[in-house]
Amino acid sequence: MKRTLSITLSAFLALSMLMSCSAIQNMNKQQQGTAAGAAGGALLGAAVSGGSIWGILAGAAIGGTAGNLIGKKMDKQAKELTQAVPTAEVQRVGEGINMTFDATLAFQINSAAISDSYKSDLNAAASVFKSYEDTNIHIEGHTDDTGSAEYNMSLSKKRANAVRDYLIAQGVDGSRLEAKWYGETQPKYPNDEANRAKNRRVGLGIYANDEMIDAAKSGELD
């Protein structure tokens, strides 16, 4: 069952103070996860959250020793995803993973049809996802600014659901997947001729589910 994810203001402020320390900034990912728990369970990186995936990953963090164990498991999955899909950008964020596929390979203008090259990347990613059944995957659809805002919101919904349905067809449990869409409201690049295609994208946020969290808290997470 997916958890409702949120960050309190107090935790956010505590994290901001913590991140100002150079010693924390020099820690590795696992050490940072433990330190975040000491600051109120907030997620490192939340202070620079510029989008909903970042917010999801921020709210998913539990910090402390359990967060440290989850971070180690996420390090392993991130490494496998990087190897499986070398064209994608895979970022470890606190206790989760932010994965963005090469947008120029994903969708044509005004289309939610998944290209053959994108299918190849999703196939490779799905193989990794199926090896980590104790994680959930947040899927976000986006568009460029071509067309009306209403049309683009509908198109981004179709793109997010297309990726969700494709992953399910490849054997990823649908209960682990959540699709959201934002139209043209969250461009990652300027909407000019050189960059517009990059905004026709779907991003993934990968975070621990309750099963992984329980295992981490009991010290049984491998």
Mean of pLDDT values over 80-98? 95
Region of poorest pLDDT, from 26-40, 81-95, 110-124? 26-40
The pTM assigned to this predicted structure is 0.75
Give tens-digit pLDDT for 170-213.
999 999 999 999 999 999 889 998 888 888 888 999 999 999 99
Region of poorest pLDDT, from 59-63, 74-78, 145-149, 198-202? 59-63
* Identity of the residue numbered 110: N
Where b means 16+ CB within 10 Å and e means fewer, 24-48 reads beeeebbebbbbbbebbbbbbbbbe
Residue 26: CB partners within 8 Å, gap ≥ 6?
Answer: none
Determine the straight-line distance between the first and last CA of the chain, rounded to whole angstroms.
21
CATH entry 1.20.1070.10 includes domain 64-217: no
Question: Is the pLDDT at 60 greater than 60, yes or no?
Answer: yes
Higher pLDDT, 6 or 129: 129
Query: In whole angstroms, what is the distance from residue 101 CA to residue 90 CA?
Result: 9
